[in-house]
Structure 1
């Protein structure tokens, strides 16, 4: 049976909540989350700010250079979570099959929904109307028979619009779809595909599959499916957390291993606290260290491990630092990959039981 999947994506969510609650911000370019110094990072910005080139994950310093009149607003996560709960409750009126992706987006399977004559198009319109009437916020929607196309479609008529891809539309829509639009195809993968002369899904359809698999491994199989309009994934409302991590953006760039060693113990302790709060019954399968340099490029290095070892974090940090090539470090992060819940649970030592003085 053909499924009917809706992807709802709120429009500039954090910024939209701020403009709703503070009407004086309505006609101004605003950004949420960044301090005005070089260390602040933009979480979300409204469409007025985007016209100047401001975007998420950009430093506040750079954003203010692009848009000197930009208004920086501190985030209010507790408010965003409360409103997100309201929106989730609206989804539940139409389906029990809901897969939240974040506070501001979710997949909804409405295949068995009988409201609005079972029309996914009309249901998406109704959901968006309910959201606006009850929260004052706008949402965009994508409607398709498969998940990845629904997600792509929700971005095609923003803001406050929707786009429908019917089963009959898929072959034509897929042919000209740029590969970089497929979820999971990041900048590096897109460049690698481009180097092989692959820009669109039609290019992949005509490319020898064995060469694609040789070049991209497991992801090559996924890419073959997506390029042919195949996505067998069902809506999952039992999402399992795959990792826990913490990171800190430093007030000033640091350059030496000794300086990094001063930052690491507090990060590891905070990581341990988070694991105890959200994943204390889960085993781990790897440890990871992340560094972001002062040119905003970043590196990660990981090692397989079935219990948290402080020594491993220090070793990974030292290895990662060799990739700095003289660049200053502006962010340090540590994380662990969580073992599957179906696997035998492993006893992870609490960091508090370990010697933080490496």
Structure 2
């Protein structure tokens, strides 16, 4: 354990660690499985243990879906083209994905979470936030709960998980990343300010590569740099995101753990077995993708107003086109009609097409209902041709 040891129950400090102020009394755990897909394969095939493994297809047009820690040591990462991965690690072993197995293991893991608290917010097959404040108030320290969960996961699945414990989601997530694999890190309120101050801004929630580069140009490289900027300065340069950056630079994150957290989108994409230049061939792929999007939407009785088309060319340049409609839609034919129109806008293609994706978002709940949670497993889809994936959750299945 790092970033603070000992009793992690409520301490009477505020989110910035100032003694005597009103405390954020929550206790949040973030649990993240270690190299999940690859670890399942190494568990089930002992000959792969200790060797660099990539889940995916090793053919010329394949893409790495997940990499073991042995492979990561060579620079292999998820979403990397297989040819690039093999250049970095010639000894890399590719194994095809077994999504039905990953789903089954995920169900075991999430059942363990649910046994400790009702407040579980699933993020993916292998990752979740847990609010254990009530259990802590009853005398169980959050670190002890996190250790129990990790031990139960290992006993039930033979896999390791890393966990982070803190008083909000932002810090709990950062903590879980600190000591991977098989680690536990605690960030108590009185240690949070120093921890956040030393953090590179690229690690902050809501700071992507483009924003990170912009911050660097403004002389903002660490949490301390970000905290030193006034809210007026941040508003001038980052607009509506200013309040968020101002808060997290101070270790403040009031987002609740939401068990009913709705899926923001349903999508499907595929890396093509052959490059496409013909509009008709591309439309046929888009038609199948639209059907794959429509099925889970229909099962959940969800309709969305926004259709997004993703096109990646052979030089890996990517275009995204989206259209938001005045009325929601869910039928495959309706989704297809919008996607076809978007595809026609960018044809003739500037280069041959390597990947196509279709996403439905902007959901409206069924009439008379306030919301509908998409199934956790809608996030993973079988490939259409060689190395398909989906876009139905934040992030890619990479652990």
- Give the TM-score normalised by structure 1: 0.88
Counterpart pick for 2:357 among 333, 353, 356: 333
Distance between the aligned counterparts of 1:319 and 1:283, measured in 2?
Answer: 24
Deviation at 1:114, TM superposition (A): 4.9
SS of the residue corresponding to residue 237 of structure 1 reads coil
**1:183 equivalenced with 2:200 (yes/no):** no
8 Å contact from structure 2 (residues 58, 82) kept in 1: yes
Distance between the aligned counterparts of 1:331 and 1:163, measured in 2?
Answer: 39
- Unpaired segments ≥5 residues, structure 1: 346-358
SS of the residue corresponding to residue 134 of structure 2 reads coil
Distance between the aligned counterparts of 1:67 and 1:257, measured in 2?
Answer: 37
8 Å contact from structure 2 (residues 297, 303) kept in 1: no
For 1:56-98, what per-residue CA distance to the aligned partner results, in whole angstroms no more than 9, with x for missing partners? 1111121112111111111111111111111112222321111
Distance between the aligned counterparts of 2:264 and 2:238, measured in 1?
Answer: 22
Counterpart pick for 1:59 among 77, 81, 96: 81
SS of the residue corresponding to residue 291 of structure 1 reads strand
**1:233 equivalenced with 2:258 (yes/no):** no
Distance between the aligned counterparts of 2:138 and 2:37, measured in 1?
Answer: 30
Distance between the aligned counterparts of 2:64 and 2:179, measured in 1?
Answer: 24
8 Å contact from structure 1 (residues 45, 54) kept in 2: yes
Distance between the aligned counterparts of 1:205 and 1:267, measured in 2?
Answer: 44
Summarize the Cα distance change of 1:146–1:321 in structure 2 as closer, same or farther, 3 Å threshold: farther
Distance between the aligned counterparts of 2:367 and 2:207, measured in 1?
Answer: 29
What does 1:176-215 align with in structure 2 at a 5 Å threshold? 176-215=198-237
Distance between the aligned counterparts of 1:292 and 1:258, measured in 2?
Answer: 17
SS of the residue corresponding to residue 177 of structure 2 reads coil
Deviation at 1:299, TM superposition (A): 2.2
Deviation at 1:44, TM superposition (A): 1.1
- Unpaired segments ≥5 residues, structure 2: 1-23, 370-399
Distance between the aligned counterparts of 2:234 and 2:94, measured in 1?
Answer: 45
Q: Give the match for residue 339 of structure 2.
A: 313
Distance between the aligned counterparts of 1:189 and 1:204, measured in 2?
Answer: 12
CA RMSD of aligned residues (A): 2.2
Counterpart pick for 1:284 among 304, 311, 316: 304
Distance between the aligned counterparts of 1:102 and 1:54, measured in 2?
Answer: 21
8 Å contact from structure 2 (residues 27, 165) kept in 1: yes
8 Å contact from structure 2 (residues 302, 366) kept in 1: no
Instruction: Decide which moves more: 259-268 or 183-192.
Output: 259-268
Distance between the aligned counterparts of 1:274 and 1:188, measured in 2?
Answer: 32
Distance between the aligned counterparts of 1:95 and 1:117, measured in 2?
Answer: 14
Distance between the aligned counterparts of 2:281 and 2:238, measured in 1?
Answer: 38
Deviation at 1:194, TM superposition (A): 1.6
Distance between the aligned counterparts of 1:268 and 1:89, measured in 2?
Answer: 32
Counterpart pick for 1:36 among 58, 66, 88: 58
For 1:12-40, what per-residue CA distance to the aligned partner results, in whole angstroms no more than 9, with x for missing partners? 111111111111111211111x2122321
8 Å contact from structure 1 (residues 241, 338) kept in 2: no
What does 1:77-96 align with in structure 2 at a 5 Å threshold? 77-96=99-118
What does 1:92-131 align with in structure 2 at a 5 Å threshold? 92-114=114-136, 117-131=139-153
Summarize the Cα distance change of 1:26–1:65 in structure 2 as closer, same or farther, 3 Å threshold: same
8 Å contact from structure 1 (residues 143, 153) kept in 2: yes
Q: Give the match for residue 318 of structure 2.
A: 298
Summarize the Cα distance change of 1:163–1:116 in structure 2 as closer, same or farther, 3 Å threshold: farther
8 Å contact from structure 1 (residues 285, 307) kept in 2: yes
Distance between the aligned counterparts of 1:257 and 1:64, measured in 2?
Answer: 32
Q: Which has the higher contact order (CA 8 A, sep 6+)?
A: 2
Distance between the aligned counterparts of 1:90 and 1:21, measured in 2?
Answer: 21
